[in-house]
Amino acid sequence: MNKTSIIEALIFSTNRGLDLTQLIRFSDFSKTEVESILLEIQERYEKEDHGIRLKRVGKKYGFFTKEEYAEYVERLVRRPVDKLTPSQLEVLAIVAKNGGSTKTQVEVVRGKDCSNQLLELLLSGLLKRKRVKAPGRPYAYTVTDNFYEIFKMSDLELFEELGEQAPSDNEDNSEEEKLLNDGDTKNTSDDKISEEEKKNERSQEYTKTMIELKK
């Protein structure tokens, strides 16, 4: 069998991408062989007679449509994003960033109800849901494969894009703990206002990023 074709097939098989270690394990090739093959594939697909390219995002490799051919691919893909409202984009961004989020978790970040937005995103095919083992058996929402097709990004690439602009909940918690440990004496009212401002800023950053990705 052709070794280059094997690596190519492995990468093509998943939209999550594969890193060097995974490619070595699944192919049984040496590290040197895999690195050489990846370089060969990248160079081959950069030529004008190919509509896709091999791209490395973080540590993972995946195939992506070249920008100049995106408009043709879009004819095959549903385009509900053109009709999404800012509030729907906001909710979509939060779910895409955090993954497996319940309605309550989304509302904690957003700071307001998101029932209608979640329903519309489900109907548009951008979100899917399933019951989780938690009190009340709530639904956990995640983005669909259709979402990745529309935004032309792998889940890893999307995480990097959103992660650069949006602080994680853990980071927010660390800051709050630091303030408490330093003897912060702000009253409860001020704390609530500060927390609301953080939620609003975080939601605005998510929405801003999603709008940029939509373009």
Confidence of residue 212 (pLDDT cuts 50, 70, 90): low
Residue 165 has pLDDT above 50, yes or no: no
Q: What pLDDT does 162 receive?
A: 46
Q: Which residue has the higher pLDDT, 125 or 27?
A: 27
- 80-214: in CATH 1.10.645.10: no
CA-based R_g, the chain, Å:
21
C-alpha to C-alpha distance for 209 and 28, rounded to whole angstroms: 39
pTM score, whole prediction = 0.47
Q: What pLDDT does 204 receive?
A: 54
Enumerate the domain spans of the chain.
3-72, 80-214
- 3-72: in CATH 3.90.1150.170: no
Q: What pLDDT does 172 receive?
A: 37
Q: Are 123 and 135 in contact (CB under 8 A)?
A: no
Q: What pLDDT does 175 receive?
A: 35
Q: Which residue has the higher pLDDT, 206 or 54?
A: 54
Domains 3-72 and 80-214 share a fold: yes
Residue 156 has pLDDT above 90, yes or no: no
Write the secondary structure of 53-75 as one string of H (helix), E (strand) and C (coil). EEEEECCEEEEEECHHHHHHHCC
Q: What pLDDT does 179 receive?
A: 31
Average model confidence (pLDDT) for the chain? Answer: 75
